[in-house]
Structure 1
């Protein structure tokens, strides 16, 4: 996320209120629901780690995970951005630092390698998928002069696709004033995928498994099916029939779509949802406004980690310059969660949009 973009910065004028979700129903309808949140934080006796959450969603919060293994010349720079995990359990973190644009760690937090020279200093969205007998990384660099890219796990570039290529097949950028700044990629179950121009045109570009353009979804607005910063998106398979779910960030909601592109349902009431991951019946939603929400299969909030209205007000107060002031950060609290993902054991890795970067491991407490 780029600090200089008004689309990227937290909504400091957002009035913080008691959180209410609208329960998802059929096409473009919703009914109000209220959900209790379960959050507590306490220091472990004799230790520096912090326990957050409760019940099945209790985690040991380990901030600055992996930092000890970074050489002196390896920096997250202006921010850490994206998270992904490959089949071997290696953790990939994109960043606005150097070298490259991706740091790769093993499960113990040891740096294994760096990748993404193609987007050096401009790492943003990252996702990984197996295709045949090989895994591939899909990158979204969040800069108007750079392109979406598909690379191998060794960093070899398979293809790049930027504004001109997208416009040639869609015509989206023919309209004056339409910008291009990619944010994330997600995958379809049929081998296709979506390229999300979340900071630019507010469109998602659908491609099939043969890399052929299918359609553009969305566009700027707040009606059902439109977006205002569709920052992240994901394939939701929790209910049998797969659907595309989009973190419609500045509209403070999630939207679901059938795989033919028609709008299915909407869940309102988030603060600034940045991205999405799922595991089993759970959906993980990192929220740029200082918290992480976990939804169950019925899209009820079963945990809101780090949630604290007083702290959030401090984070969103411009005069505190919180994203650049690590001395003010509190254990067990988040500043600006930008992306998060589950590992196979249910632990959560969080990357935050803060100066100098910060990766937190939420280690599941059994």
Structure 2
């Protein structure tokens, strides 16, 4: 019996198709080729064929049809007890024909998920995994793995090492012919924000216990693939402040843009600043942890600098991490003596001084001002 297993390993960097096998008792008797014909026989069943109830593709496991994989007694019992209205098949098939149908079902393989969605692709490169199992009564010889569909160019099969290998199931005898597992690596490379659709097609056939000639034309396993780009960008990715003087504040900003096709959630925003001269603005309108940016939306990273610094700001998100570099150079003595207002630049981001510095302190000018004030007061007191 082939079963679906729910296990998706999204943390893998490569899409891995794992084929699991086991060992068991005797090989199920029966002819799977004849079993396929009986499974789809409309004439003898009066239009109530197995495929009419369970679908022409048994791998979909409609109404648990794979319960009868390699087990003719289970099928016979369901008919005798009218399980799921199967009593209408009573007297139509013989015991040997039930064995043939069970053998055909044993040639099936199935995936744990009907499709794979790459809905949160990290910066154009992401992966998913699916588990394929063979729990039937026949061995399964793996054929080629190919990609089909309009978006097939966005997906790449990195390795097809499984082609030609044989896997067994819990109802097959352990043999050196059968492997326990193998891997097919597939990579998704998003090239645009639009959704890409493709199908991973895996061919395979059932073989006998001796690894002899193919006995059944098993339907290919088809796994739909859906991909969308999820990407963010920081512009600019560096802020430069020139001639920064202690005691004055300068501002700059960078924009975090969701340039992909799916929503992105902003994660941790961390500041690495040994000088303690850099601050980040927070609140509505600025980038904050937990913010959700739909496709095309953006938020602002506002940076405040109050002195020389060499810092970095890392922004985590569901589309990866972005780093903003912050550099602030101290004003030189020459610059301080020749510039009435030190210049603060924010290359590409419109940096400006929030609080402009005052003119340089001149003690002589202060003395002259005091003298002028005293003279002025003395004059005002004359009769």
Normalising by structure 2, we get a TM-score of 0.22
Structure that is richer in strand per residue: 1
Bigger radius of gyration among the two = 2
Normalising by structure 1, we get a TM-score of 0.22
